[in-house]
Amino acid sequence: MTAPIELYFWPTPNGFKLTIALEEMGLPYTVIPVNIGAGDQFKPEFLAISPNNRMPAIVDPEGPDGQPISIFESAAILQYLGRKSGKFYGANERERAEVESWLMWQMGGLGPMAGQTHHFRQYAPAMISDQRQIAYGAIRYTNETNRLYGVLNKRLADREYVAGDYSIADMASWPWVTPWRLQGINIEEFPHLKAWYDRIAAREAVQRSAQVGKDLTSRNLGGSSADAAAARNVLFGQRAR
């Protein structure tokens, strides 16, 4: 019997990349919650797996040569899972190069820029008194996120998926498009991207992956303002409470 992969997870876009991949690839896994608002990412046992104190991470008990392996950084994990399963990573070097180009586009562009957009639009108003600073950051990153949506929309004008067949490149970008409303984006302005988004959302494995974080999310909503402030301090002050 195959030992399940241990997924260190919290319901964020980066976390959902991996639940989608694991569900799509049919790889058994078990979820180990890493509550990033409570500082779980700073615990020594997690840092031994993910030294950059960032979630997600995995431990595969049946890694190369049958020996356990731990991996951090979502793109590295997606590539590892693609190789392990033999799925969604291209059938040859030309296809893999295209998948990797768009995977790195997400890692270097869409994810960081959308993340900054979320910060300035959702979190900064409760943290910074100078509204001019907030406005500049919100405008700067919203505009850049909008530009990246345009890049993706143009790419999808003549194809169903970003790198040919459905791949880990789609799995990486899709969760970052899911909160488009919070990013101040009008998805209707990007019809090719919207069709791609809906196409992936209809996949059964993607729908199953969405359920993984539902319980964690519901248990951590509705906290006090003090809890919210403490979580912001952990997330953006980079120290455990």
Mean pLDDT along residues 105-122: 93
- Taking alpha carbons only, the member of 168, 161, 143, 164 closest to residue 197 is 161
* Position 91 pLDDT exceeds 90: yes
Mean pLDDT along residues 129-145: 86
CATH of domain 5-87+209-237: 3.40.30.10
45 vs 173: CA distance, rounded Å? 29
pLDDT, residue 221, reads 44
Mean pLDDT along residues 191-195: 98
User: C-alpha dihedral over 151, 153, 158, 162, to 10 degrees?
Assistant: 70
Cβ neighbors of 164 (< 8 A, separation 6 or more) are 90, 95, 98, 99
* Tens-digit pLDDT profile for residues 218-241: 555 445 455 555 555 655 565 444
* Position 141 pLDDT exceeds 90: yes
Mean pLDDT along residues 14-41: 96
pLDDT, residue 124, reads 78
* Position 30 pLDDT exceeds 60: yes
pTM for this entry: 0.90
pLDDT, residue 215, reads 72
Candidate from 1-10, 102-111, 129-138, 228-237 with smallest mean pLDDT = 228-237
**Do 14 and 115 form a contact (C-beta atoms < 8 A)?**
no
User: Where do the domains of the chain lie?
Assistant: 5-87+209-237, 93-202
Mean pLDDT along residues 147-162: 98
pLDDT, residue 136, reads 87
* Tens-digit pLDDT profile for residues 32-69: 999 998 899 999 999 999 999 999 999 999 999 999 99
pLDDT, residue 77, reads 98
Pick the CATH number of 93-202 from 1.10.760.10, 1.10.569.10, 1.20.1050.10, 3.40.50.740: 1.20.1050.10
Cβ neighbors of 124 (< 8 A, separation 6 or more) are 133, 134, 137, 138
The average confidence (pLDDT) of the chain is 90
pLDDT, residue 117, reads 93
Q: Tokens 């070097």, residue?
A: 93
Q: How many CA atoms lie within 13 A of 108 on its CB side?
A: 6
* Position 98 pLDDT exceeds 80: yes
Mean pLDDT along residues 129-153: 90
